[in-house]
């Protein structure tokens, strides 16, 4: 683990913890775990634009525990990166609890990925295959609870739904009984990719839970976030691709404002973001505000200095 910018510090006690947020009655706006993308620099950006809670990209717990190199590359934070949830891919209770103990001083909680539908993850026993293994989920949650002394440290899960929704409700009830802090529901089955999100299913799950439930799936604007929050009765909404395209979405912007683009440039350069990541984020942000020809030119740029020259020439500073 390492810190960029200012020193790594323990998450400040004075800041609201997520559980308090979820019980506020207000919409809690959350940046989803995104492999390669929801790293410190991007989290710093979306926090400037009304994002309440951020997740790290999914980290494989076994690698994180066994390799100092993995810890240094996968988990980077700083004093302002709070509240923060670290998401792990895990299939072993002891390894997960060891990983949780490592990040405990620097985060508000961990999340167990029970929703990733990618073949490699499921083949390793991670991700969405865990929605069919409630006993393993229970054991992992219990082990973390036993090993982490901080009673405010959250343990949550992120799931997909079953074709038979009664199985999902049963999974969630068992998770709640085990001591899960909250559940994020992506409203699609493992097989579904671009089909409409089943917000009605998320609503049913929420109605059967007494712990907070977060809605996730195809939310592209603040208006959509508020609508999903209302129709599902959930305690917050989690957004992935919508924030990649418009990191200022939660502040009510319909498309990425130029100030947000320059904020990204400043943050990314200050934190030493690798060029490919720096450039890819800009490609997402600028897709809606540039022509096809402009995108072709911008996407072909190969250095940070070329990007800065392009932005200065076309948009000023």
Active site residue 277: no
Confirm if 235 and 212 have CB atoms less than 8 A apart: yes
Bridge partners, residue 236, by sequence: 28, 214
The answer to whether 240 is a known ligand-binding residue is yes
The answer to whether 307 is a known ligand-binding residue is no
Q: Which residue in this structure is represented by tokens 């529901």?
A: 185
The answer to whether 21 is a known ligand-binding residue is no
Confirm if 216 and 4 have CB atoms less than 8 A apart: no
The answer to whether 28 is a known ligand-binding residue is no
> Phi and psi of 22, rounded to 5°?
-65, -25
What is the number of other CB atoms lying within 10 angstroms of the CB of residue 195?
A: 11
| Rounded Cα gap, residues 156 and 85, in angstroms | 9
The answer to whether 241 is a known ligand-binding residue is yes
Q: Which residue in this structure is represented by tokens 């409203």?
A: 187
The answer to whether 18 is a known ligand-binding residue is no
What is the b/e burial string over 31-53, where b = at least 16 CB atoms within 10 angstroms of the residue's CB?
bbbbeebbbbbbbbbbbbbebbb
Among candidate residues 51, 54, 82, 116, the one labeled active-site is 116
The answer to whether 220 is a known ligand-binding residue is no
Binding residues: 33-35, 87, 186, 240-241
Binding residues for FMN: 33-35, 87, 186, 240-241
Q: Which residues are known to be catalytic?
A: 116
């Amino acid at each position: 683990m390492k810190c960029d910018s200012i020193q790594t510090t323990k998450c400040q006690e004075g800041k609201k913890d997520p559980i308090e947020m979820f019980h506020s009655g207000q919409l809690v706006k959350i940046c989803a775990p995104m492999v390669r993308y929801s790293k410190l620099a991007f989290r710093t950006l979306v926090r400037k634009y009304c994002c309440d809670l951020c997740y790290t990209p999914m980290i494989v717990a076994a690698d994180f525990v066994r390799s100092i190199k993995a810890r240094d590359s996968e988990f980077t934070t700083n004093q302002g990166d709070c509240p923060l949830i670290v998401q792990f891919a895990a299939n072993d209770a002891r390894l997960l609890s060891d990983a949780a103990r490592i990040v405990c001083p620097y985060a508000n909680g961990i999340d167990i990925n029970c929703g990733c539908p990618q073949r490699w993850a499921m083949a390793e026993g991670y991700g969405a295959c865990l929605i069919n293994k409630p006993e393993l989920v229970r054991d992992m949650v219990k082990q973390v609870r036993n090993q982490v002394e901080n009673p405010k440290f959250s343990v949550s899960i992120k799931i997909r739904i079953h074709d038979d929704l009664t199985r999902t409700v049963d999974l969630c009830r068992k998770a709640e009984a085990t001591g899960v802090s909250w559940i994020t529901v992506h409203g699609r089955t493992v097989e579904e990719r671009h089909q409409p999100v089943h917000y009605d299913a998320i609503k049913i799950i929420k109605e059967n839970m007494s712990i907070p439930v977060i809605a996730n799936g195809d939310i592209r604007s603040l208006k959509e976030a508020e609508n999903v929050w209302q129709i599902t009765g959930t305690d917050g909404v989690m957004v992935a691709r919508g924030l990649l395209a418009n990191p200022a979405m939660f502040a009510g912007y319909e498309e990425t404002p130029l100030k947000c683009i320059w904020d990204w440039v400043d943050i990314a350069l200050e934190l030493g973001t690798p060029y490919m990541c720096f450039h890819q984020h800009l490609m997402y942000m600028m897709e809606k505000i540039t022509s096809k020809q402009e995108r072709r030119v911008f996407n072909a740029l190969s250095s940070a200095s070329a990007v800065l020259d392009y932005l200065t020439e076309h948009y000023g500073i």
